């Protein structure tokens, strides 16, 4: 059997004169976390909605778990889970009532419903909140409830749209550990995010910008491809240095990180560090040093000057 659980070919969606997703090709393998990285408006949610069968493409097609889309998406309903960005469960129901409602939607037997809900309450540390109204819970607790409800019917493929946008860093870390527990059990995930550190957690990512796929690959490999092109600048007075660098030839971006500048140099520059040295010459006590690229550097490079 194929290891490909979802694939798109020329996937496109327009809304009037606006193209939200533009001729996107994706390939997602079984048992992986595939990230869709991009800013708001980049087409991530629209792409997800087409992959779940909730939205019909304007062009191209997708094959998800053997089902070709657009077409009959009904067979997918019991095999996928979709966790939207906002909390969509009933705030005036308790945790237990919400989970029972979802179990009924999926036609679980009484015995399986009781056993599965009990398992999820324990796994996602919700037992103490079982009789708490969802609307009275913290963001992290609601997130755990949403995940529990999304996987209650044991889906093979999960779609998670900006799943940690409203929680604190500790809850985010815990949430990702829970996701990898699911991956260990064989679940495949497609996760949208605008957070670079989250994208680095994915096995593979696609960078989307203005509806188009700008890059695709393993995060570590994408970063390695631009090794040597990121220069760190240190000095006592960095604001004028930053302005000088920003206006310099071959400089794609300059970002201040505390007491340092992070400078991304274009691919056509033979000696990136030498180019930066030449621009900062004359600024007292200013030093340069090549540094390891990060995913933000990859994103800047992939999306810069690509056109609308």
Model confidence, pTM: 0.90
Domains of the chain: 1-79+155-216 (3.40.50.300), 90-154 (no CATH), 228-291 (3.30.70.100)
Residue 8, CA distances (Å) to 28, 70, 78, 135, 166 in order: 9, 11, 21, 37, 29
The mean pLDDT of the chain is 92
The average pLDDT across 100-110 equals: 93
Most confident range, picked from 67-76, 81-90, 226-235 = 226-235
CA distance 115 to 46: 35
Report CA 74 to chain centroid distance, whole Å.
26
Q: Is pLDDT at 255 greater than 80 in this prediction?
A: yes
């Amino acid at each position: 059997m194929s290891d490909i659980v979802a694939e798109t070919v020329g996937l496109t969606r327009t809304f009037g004169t606006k193209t939200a997703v533009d001729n996107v090709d994706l390939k997602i393998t079984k048992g992986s976390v595939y990230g869709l990285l991009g800013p708001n408006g980049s087409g991530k949610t629209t792409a997800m909605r087409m992959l779940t069968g909730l939205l019909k493409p304007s062009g191209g097609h997708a094959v998800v778990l053997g089902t070709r889309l657009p077409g009959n998406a009904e067979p997918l309903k019991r095999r996928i889970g979709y966790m939207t960005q906002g909390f969509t469960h009933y705030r005036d129901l308790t945790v237990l009532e919400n989970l029972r409602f979802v179990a009924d939607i999926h036609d679980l037997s009484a015995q399986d419903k009781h056993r599965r809900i009990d398992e999820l309450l324990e796994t996602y540390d919700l037992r103490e909140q079982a009789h708490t109204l969802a609307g009275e819970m913290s963001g992290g607790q609601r997130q755990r409830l949403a995940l529990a409800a999304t996987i209650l019917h044991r889906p093979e493929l999960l779609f998670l749209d900006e799943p940690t946008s409203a929680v604190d860093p500790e809850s985010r870390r815990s949430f990702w550990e829970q996701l990898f527990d699911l991956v260990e059990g064989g679940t495949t995930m497609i996760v949208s995010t605008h957070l670079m550190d989250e994208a680095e957690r994915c096995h593979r990512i696609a960078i989307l910008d203005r509806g188009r796929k700008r890059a695709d690959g393993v995060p570590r490999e994408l970063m390695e491809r631009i090794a040597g092109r990121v220069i760190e600048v240190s000095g006592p007075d960095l604001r004028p240095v930053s302005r000088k660098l920003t206006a310099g030839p071959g400089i794609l971006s300059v970002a201040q990180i505390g007491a340092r500048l992070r400078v991304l140099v274009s691919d056509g520059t033979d000696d990136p560090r030498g180019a930066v040295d030449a621009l900062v010459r004359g600024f007292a006590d200013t030093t340069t040093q090549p540094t390891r690229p990060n995913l933000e550097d990859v994103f800047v490079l992939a999306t810069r000057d690509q056109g609308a």
